[in-house]
Every structure is written in structure tokens, then in C-alpha cells.
């Protein structure tokens, strides 16, 4: 009888273990199959990113979840790498950089010798764009050594081309030429056409930097012939624009016009708006120097249309991508919630299995031996302690999860407010000028206006274009600062040189209103700020001063400082602001006024200035009285001395 009970106890103990062993074996088999699936999905996502970003991101989310579940590190690194490329392609550089670093950490942890140098190349490119040249060179050299050891000759050639471009920036022309020619020789050996045409193009850039026009032309023509072979319209347009610049330097205007038109056609085939604008601008300017009014006007119209298409495309794409990223973040949050629920359910089921097994075991032991009841009580006590610990741990996890959900909800609400503000500005201040432009161009094209009337309207159209472009620059700058969250790279900026540049930039509107621009800053006056942001701030403040200053007025720039702050003062002799208007400005309310010559504004400039200054620890101070002009003071903290 005793032996029968021993057999029953062994069965009760062994049966759950057998189930767990079967589950573990099936899980290992599923992991191998899932790894193959992950590799296939990574390839599909990489191909899909060029046609549908939404589908690619959805696939990558699934890939990362699967890779983490089966602990497939190579697949996880590839997913991070592809996702980083998507964000980099769409201008979200900080997010892309973070994903590349995650891919690198994962690859280094498991010694993925192929992915590590590839990821380092992308991170090095970020360092170059941020001016961290030494860090970039270090990563490029590490990748170069790895590619040489792995025998990846094409990647060796690409890396040498990248290093050569850095040497051009450092004016190390001899070293740059050596790197480019080494890359060219490797590409020729490997029959790597892309590497050959990049080497020729870079050698052309080097020759231009050395003022060797004949050699530069030869290299660009070699690169162009390879682009023709590859049917690379973008590359062809790039080389043709370089050749146009060479023709202009040699005053071969007819050849420059012909080549620029071909470059424009190639750029248009790939919707390369920046190259299209460059080509059209060159053609227009050459015709203008030739006093060919008809062709100048025609290409001026083409330039306006191209800029309009680019603006509409960028606005639509930015809005769509923002929505896409928000949807993706929401999906990730929902997926995380579902995973937590599934884990809790799985934990509950596992606890039920073990509790059931334990109770059966206790029951069998009670039937066989009475003295085991004491041990049973001890085991139950320990189990209750474990359960209490699990309950406390789950409660803490739920509290953390609730805080994360609340944080995500606040971010989503802020994104919605940002989107609504942008849509309001875009629908009112960008759509109206574009509609007005279409009406004016239609009247001119139909011949309904005299030449004098057409000239007046074209001048108005130019002014309207400048205002709209300024607003678009503000919108894009503000949008980027709000979304990407890029860490500021501050540098010392010579305020005297900066204001001279602003004077030249605003020369036409200043001359139109006969306003005297006085730069009273000293040659050694410097401030510490992020260069592009401070340009946007001063451009808005000077444009605002011109707008509200009457004919024959004066705008004066002065510099002051104390122990804590630097101050740049922009003083005008304009119409000033009443107390009511000044209160609205200081409250950062969105409104606009017309200028002294009925110039229109967006009402967004001063809001943007304050926002960008706050990001740099600064402030905008305004003093004004109606009819007595205004003083706008940019306050920036002094650089900390170690």
C-alpha cells in the first residue's frame, strides 16, 4: 500500500515537470522559426520604407517585439538600424541618433562584427553635421579598420570618400586627394560604379576648392557619365549644377544656361526641389544679366511655382509624418499595455498550476503520512509571504505604469495643441498668399493688365513671397524645435559680423523705405547662443522694426553687458505700441498689425522669438510707447567660465 502511494506522489510531481519540459522544447523550436521570420521582416521593412513609412514602422514595431521575446539580438539591432534611417530621412535627427546608439549598444553587447562598423558610419555622419569633426574621424577610422579586416572593399571605398570630404573642410587638400584616389582605385577594382562616380564627384569638389577649373570639369564630366550609366537623375543634376558653376566662372553664359536647363529637367524627374530651385535661380539670374526680360520673367514664374510646390510638399509631409509618429507612439503604448496584461495573465496561470500541483502533493502526503501536516503549515506560510511580496511588487509596477500612461497622455495633448496652432497659422497665413498669388498670375497671364500694372503687381507679389517665405522659415524652425527636441550646440558669435549680415539681408526693404540701419556694436562684441536660432530671432526683430518704421526712419543696434547677461538692443523710430498692444505682445497672444506701408505680418514672429530665447535661457524685453518708437532687447546669459 505504501509503494502505491509513493508511485502516485511521483506521478503528481513528474506530470507538471513533463508539461513544462514540453513547453520549453516547443518554445526553443518556435524561437528558431521566429528568428527566420524576423530576418525576412527586416528585409521587407527596409524595402517598404521608400514607399510607405507607415507600413514600415508598423512592421518594425512587430519585429522588435518578436526579437525581444525570443532574445534574437541581431534581428533587434537591424530593426533599430532601419527605424533610425526612417527618422533620419524625415529630419528627426535626435530620435535617429538615439536609435543608432541603441542598435550599436545591442550589437557591441553580442559582438556583431558586421553591424558595428555600419552603425558607426551613421553616427559619424551625425557628428560631422554637428561640427564634432574629431569624434567623426575617430568613428570613420574604426569602421575603416573593421571593413578592411572583413574584406568589405566597397564599404572601405565609401568610408574613404567620407573621410576625404572632412579633409576638404579642414583644407588638407593633399590628404583629401589621396583618400579620394584610393577610393576610386578600390571601386575600379571591384567594378563598384557607385563608388567610382562618388570618387570622381568628390575629386571635382576638391579641384574647385583648389581653383583648378579644368581639372574640376574633367572629374565632374566623368562622374556625370557614370550617373548616365546608372540612370541616376539626382546624381546627374548634382554634377550638372557643378558644371554650370564652372561655366559661369568662365563667363560661358550660353553653355551655362543649356546645362542648367538639363539639370532642372533631371532634378524634376526625382522631385529634388532644392536642385530644381538652384537650377531655375541660375537660369533666371543669367537671363537677367543678359537683359532678356521675357525669359527672366518666365523663369521667375517657374521659380515661384517650384517654391510653392516645395512648400506645399514639405507642409503636407511634415503634418503626415507627425500624425504617423503619434499613431506609432500610441500603438506602442497600447501594445505595452497588452503585453503587461498578457504577462499578468500568464503569471496567474503559472501560479494556479503550481498551487494546484502543490495542493495535490499535500493531499497525497496527508493520506500517506500524518506527521507531514506540520510541514504543510510551514510551506503554506512561506507561500503566503511570497504571494504578499508578489502583490506588493505588482502594486508598485501598476503605480509606475499609471504614471507613464499619464505622462504619455500629457505629451499627446501637447502635440494636439501644437498641431491645432500650426494648422490655424498654415490655413490662414500661408493659404491666403498662395491664393492671392494664383489670382495675380492669372490676371497677368491672361493679359488683362497693362505693363505698368503688371510691374506693380509683380513687386507686390515679390514682397508677398518674401513675407510668406519668412513665415515658412519661422514655422519650420519652430516645428523642428518643438518636435525633434535637438540638444542645443551653443557657440561664440560675433554680434558685429552677424548684424552686418542682417543689414545685407534686409538691404532691399531698408532701401525701399529709406531707413538708415546703424550698427553701433564693436568688432569684439560676442554672445553665446545657438547660431541658427539666434539668426531667426534677430531676422524677425529687424524685419518687425522695418515694418513699423516710416519712410526716412532709423534702426540702431547696440550691445551692452553686465556680470550675468549680454544685451543686444534694437531701437527703431517707428510708430511704437499702445499699452493695449504691448500687453497683448507680452501675453504672447496671436495677433497681427499692418506696417507703415500696409505690410502684412503673420503675428507669429515675436511668439517664436520668445520661445527660441527661452530654450537658450534668455528673454525678450520690450519698451515702447505709441508714436515714440520701440526698443527690443535680447537678453542672453553669459558663458560660464570653468
Q: For 201-241, give the secondary structure using H, E and C.
A: HHHHHHHHHCCCHHHHHHHHHHHHHHHHHHCCHHHHHHHHH
**Same structural domain for residues 480 and 493?**
no
Question: What is the pLDDT averaged over residues 584-594?
Answer: 75
Q: Which of 19-23, 77-81, 183-187, 447-451 is most confident?
A: 183-187
| pLDDT of the residue at 85 | 76
Are 502 and 443 found together in one domain? Answer: no
Q: Residue 474 has what pLDDT?
A: 61
* Residues forming beta bridges with residue 619, ordered by sequence position: 635
Q: Does residue 445 surpass a pLDDT of 70?
A: yes
Q: Residue 533: what pLDDT? A: 86
Q: End of a domain among 70, 93, 110?
A: 110
pLDDT at 87: 76
Residues 6+ apart with CB under 8 A from 16: 353, 354, 357
What is the b/e burial string over 206-228, where b = at least 16 CB atoms within 10 angstroms of the residue's CB?
Answer: bbbeeeeeeebbebbebbbebbe
- Give one DSSP letter per residue of 40-92, joined into a string: HHHHHHHHHTTT-HHHHHHHHHHHHHHHHHHT-HHHHHHHHHHHHHHHHHTT-
CB 284 within 8 A of CB 299: yes
Give the CA distances from residue 234 to residues 90, 153, 230, 271, 277, in Å, rounded to whole numbers and listed in that order.
18, 25, 11, 9, 14
User: Is the confidence at residue 7, as pLDDT, over 80?
Assistant: no
Q: What is the pLDDT of residue 542?
A: 93
User: Do both 435 and 405 map to the same domain?
Assistant: yes
pLDDT tens digits along 211-242 = 999 999 999 999 999 999 989 998 999 999 99
The number of angstroms, rounded, from the C-alpha of 306 to the middle of its chain's C-alpha atoms is: 23
pLDDT bucket at 21, cuts 50 / 70 / 90: very low
Is the same domain home to 372 and 403? Answer: yes
Residues in contact with 116: Cβ distance below 8 Å, sequence separation at least 6, in sequence order: 104, 107, 108, 146
Nearest-angstrom CA–CA distance, 18 and 174? 71
Strand segments, DSSP code E, in 389-497 are 491-494
Q: Is residue 434 part of a domain?
A: yes
State which of 180, 198, 231 marks the end of a domain: 231
Residue 12 lies in a domain: no
Report phi then psi at 109, rounded to 5. -60, -35
Using one digit for the tens of pLDDT, what is the confidence trace for 156-175? 999 999 999 999 988 999 99
Range of the domain at 612: 488-637
Helix (H, G, I), strand (E, B) or coil at 620: strand
Place of cell 543649356: 258
What Rg value do the Cα atoms of the chain yield, rounded?
33
Q: Residue 243: pLDDT band by 50, 70, 90 thresholds?
A: very high
Region at 560 (left for phi over 0; alpha for psi -120 to 50; beta for the rest): beta
Its sign, for the CA torsion 31, 36, 39, 45, is negative
pLDDT at residue 553 tops 90: yes
Does residue 209 share a domain with residue 160?
Answer: yes
Average pLDDT over residues 538-555: 92
Could you report the per-residue pLDDT of 182-215, keeping only the tens digit for each?
Answer: 999 999 999 999 999 999 999 999 999 999 999 9
Task: Name the percent of the chain lying above pLDDT 70.
Answer: 73
Same-domain pairing of 104 and 123: no
CA atoms within 13 A on the CB side of 364: 18
What is the DSSP secondary structure assignment for residue 610, as one 8-state letter? H
Q: Taking CA 523 as the corner, what is the angle to CA 519 and CA 526, rounded to the nearest 5 degrees?
A: 95
Sign of CA dihedral 403, 404, 405, 411: positive
- Domain annotation covers residue 236: no
CA 581 – CA 624 distance, rounded (Å): 10
pLDDT tens digits, 287-306: 988 898 888 888 988 888 88
Query: Is residue 252 domain-shared with residue 326, that is, in the same domain?
Result: no
Cβ neighbours of 483 (radius 10 Å)? 18
Among 472, 487, 502, identify where a domain stops.
487
pLDDT digits (tens, 9 = 90+) for 458-500: 766 666 566 666 666 666 665 666 554 556 788 899 999 999 9
Number of domain units in the chain: 5
pLDDT at 25 over 50: no
Closest to 164 (Cα-Cα) out of 214, 119, 219: 219
Element (H, E) at 535: helix 531-547
Higher pLDDT, residue 417 or 97: 97
**Residue 22 pLDDT class (50, 70, 90 cuts):** very low
Q: Are residues 430 and 501 in the same domain?
A: no
Mean pLDDT of the chain: 79
Pick the residue with more confidence: 336 or 368?
368
Q: Decide: residue 240, CB within 10 A, 0-12 exposed, 13-18 middle, 19+ buried.
A: buried
* pLDDT at 26 (0 to 100): 44
The pLDDT value recorded for residue 153 is: 92
User: Per-residue b/e over 489-513, b at no fewer than 16 CB within 10 Å?
Assistant: ebeebbbbebbeebbeebeebbeeb
- Residue 558: predicted pLDDT: 95
Domain assignment of residue 255, yes or no: yes
C-beta separation of 520 from 480 below 8 A: no
- Looking at the fold, whether 414 and 505 belong to one and the same domain comes out as no
Segment 58-106, tens digit of pLDDT: 788 888 888 888 888 888 888 888 888 777 666 677 778 888 888 888 8
The residues near 79 (Cβ < 8 Å, ≥ 6 apart) are 38, 42, 45, 60, 63, 64, 67
Instruction: Judge if 380 and 449 occupy the same domain.
Output: yes
Q: Which DSSP letter does residue 110 get?
A: T
* Residues 598, 520 share a domain: yes
Name the more confident of 346 and 632: 632
Range of weakest confidence among 110-124, 520-534, 584-598, 618-632: 584-598
- 11 within a domain of the structure (yes/no): no
Residue with cell 521582416: 41
The predicted-structure confidence for 348-380, as pLDDT tens digits, reads as follows 666 776 677 777 778 767 767 766 877 877 887
Q: Is residue 499 part of a domain?
A: yes
In a domain, 237, yes or no: no
Q: How many CB atoms lie within 10 A of CB 287?
A: 20
| Percent of the chain scoring above 90 in pLDDT | 26
Regarding whether 129 and 188 lie in a shared domain, the answer is yes
> CATH number for the domain including 202?
1.25.40.10
Structural domain contains residue 19: no
Q: Which of 102-111, 112-121, 477-486, 616-625 is predicted most confidently?
A: 616-625
Burial 409-431 (b: 16+ CB within 10 A, else e): eeeeeebeeeeeebeebbeebbe
Mean pLDDT of 35-45: 82
Amino acid at each position: 500500500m505504501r509503494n502505491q502511494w509513493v508511485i502516485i506522489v511521483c506521478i503528481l510531481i513528474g506530470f507538471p515537470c513533463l508539461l513544462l519540459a514540453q513547453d520549453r522544447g516547443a518554445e526553443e523550436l518556435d524561437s528558431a522559426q521566429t528568428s527566420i521570420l524576423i530576418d525576412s521582416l527586416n528585409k521587407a521593412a527596409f524595402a517598404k520604407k521608400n514607399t510607405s513609412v507607415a507600413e514600415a514602422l508598423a512592421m518594425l514595431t512587430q519585429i522588435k517585439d518578436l526579437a525581444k521575446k525570443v532574445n534574437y539580438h541581431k534581428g533587434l539591432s537591424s530593426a533599430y538600424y532601419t527605424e533610425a534611417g526612417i527618422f533620419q530621412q524625415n529630419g528627426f535627427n535626435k530620435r535617429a541618433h538615439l536609435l543608432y546608439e541603441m542598435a550599436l549598444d545591442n550589437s557591441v553587447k553580442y559582438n556583431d562584427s558586421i553591424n558595428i562598423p555600419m552603425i558607426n558610419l551613421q553616427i559619424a555622419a551625425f557628428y560631422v553635421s554637428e561640427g564634432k569633426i574629431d569624434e567623426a574621424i575617430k568613428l570613420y577610422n574604426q569602421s575603416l579598420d573593421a571593413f578592411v579586416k572583413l574584406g568589405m572593399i566597397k564599404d572601405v571605398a565609401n568610408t574613404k570618400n567620407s573621410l576625404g570630404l572632412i579633409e576638404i573642410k579642414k583644407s588638407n587638400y593633399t590628404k583629401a586627394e589621396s583618400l579620394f584616389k584610393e577610393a576610386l582605385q578600390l571601386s575600379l577594382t571591384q567594378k563598384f560604379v557607385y563608388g567610382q562616380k562618388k570618387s570622381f564627384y568628390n575629386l571635382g569638389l576638391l579641384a574647385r576648392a583648389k581653383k583648378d577649373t579644368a581639372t574640376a570639369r574633367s572629374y565632374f564630366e566623368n562622374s556625370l557619365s557614370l550617373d548616365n550609366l546608372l540612370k541616376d537623375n539626382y546624381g546627374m543634376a548634382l554634377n550638372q549644377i557643378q558644371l554650370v558653376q564652372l561655366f559661369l566662372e568662365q563667363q560661358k553664359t550660353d553653355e551655362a544656361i543649356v546645362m542648367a536647363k538639363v539639370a532642372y529637367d533631371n532634378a524634376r524627374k526625382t522631385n529634388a526641389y532644392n536642385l530644381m530651385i538652384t537650377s531655375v535661380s541660375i537660369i533666371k539670374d543669367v537671363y537677367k544679366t543678359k537683359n532678356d526680360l521675357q525669359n527672366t520673367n518666365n523663369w521667375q514664374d517657374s521659380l515661384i511655382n517650384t517654391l510653392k510646390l516645395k512648400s506645399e510638399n514639405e507642409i503636407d509631409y511634415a503634418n503626415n509624418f507627425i500624425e504617423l509618429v503619434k499613431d506609432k507612439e500610441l500603438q506602442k503604448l497600447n501594445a505595452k499595455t497588452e503585453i503587461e496584461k498578457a504577462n499578468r495573465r500568464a503569471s496567474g496561470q503559472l501560479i494556479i498550476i503550481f498551487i494546484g500541483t502543490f495542493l495535490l502533493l499535500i493531499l497525497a502526503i496527508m493520506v500517506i503520512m500524518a506527521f507531514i501536516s506540520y510541514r504543510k503549515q510551514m510551506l503554506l506560510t512561506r507561500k503566503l509571504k511570497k504571494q504578499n511580496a508578489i502583490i506588493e511588487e505588482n502594486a508598485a509596477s501598476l503605480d509606475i505604469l499609471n504614471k507613464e500612461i499619464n505622462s504619455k497622455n500629457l505629451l499627446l495633448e501637447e502635440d494636439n495643441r501644437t498641431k491645432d496652432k500650426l494648422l490655424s497659422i498654415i490655413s490662414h497665413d500661408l493659404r491666403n498668399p498662395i491664393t492671392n498669388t494664383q489670382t495675380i498670375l492669372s490676371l497677368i497671364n491672361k493679359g488683362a493688365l497693362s505693363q505698368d500694372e503688371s510691374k506693380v503687381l509683380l513687386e507686390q507679389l515679390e514682397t508677398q513671397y518674401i513675407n510668406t517665405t519668412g513665415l515658412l522659415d519661422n514655422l519650420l524652425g519652430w516645428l523642428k524645435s518643438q518636435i525633434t527636441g535637438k540638444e542645443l550646440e551653443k557657440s561664440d558669435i560675433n554680434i558685429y559680423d552677424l548684424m552686418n549680415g542682417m543689414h545685407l539681408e534686409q538691404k532691399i526693404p531698408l532701401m525701399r523705405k529709406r531707413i538708415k540701419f546703424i550698427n553701433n556694436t564693436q568688432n569684439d562684441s560676442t554672445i553665446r547662443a545657438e547660431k541658427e536660432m539666434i539668426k531667426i530671432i534677430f531676422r524677425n526683430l529687424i524685419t518687425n522694426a522695418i515694418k513699423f518704421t516710416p519712410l526716412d526712419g532709423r534702426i540702431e543696434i547696440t550691445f551692452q553687458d553686465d556680470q550675468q547677461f549680454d544685451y543686444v538692443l534694437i531701437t527703431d523710430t517707428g510708430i511704437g505700441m499702445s499699452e493695449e498692444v504691448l500687453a497683448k505682445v507680452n501675453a504672447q497672444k496671436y495677433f497681427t498689425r499692418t506696417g507703415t506701408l500696409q505690410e502684412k505680418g503673420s503675428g507669429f514672429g515675436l511668439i517664436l522669438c520668445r520661445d527660441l530665447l527661452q530654450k537658450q535661457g534668455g528673454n525678450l524685453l520690450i519698451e515702447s510707447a505709441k508714436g515714440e518708437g520701440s526698443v527690443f532687447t535680447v537678453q542672453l546669459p553669459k558663458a560660464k567660465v570653468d
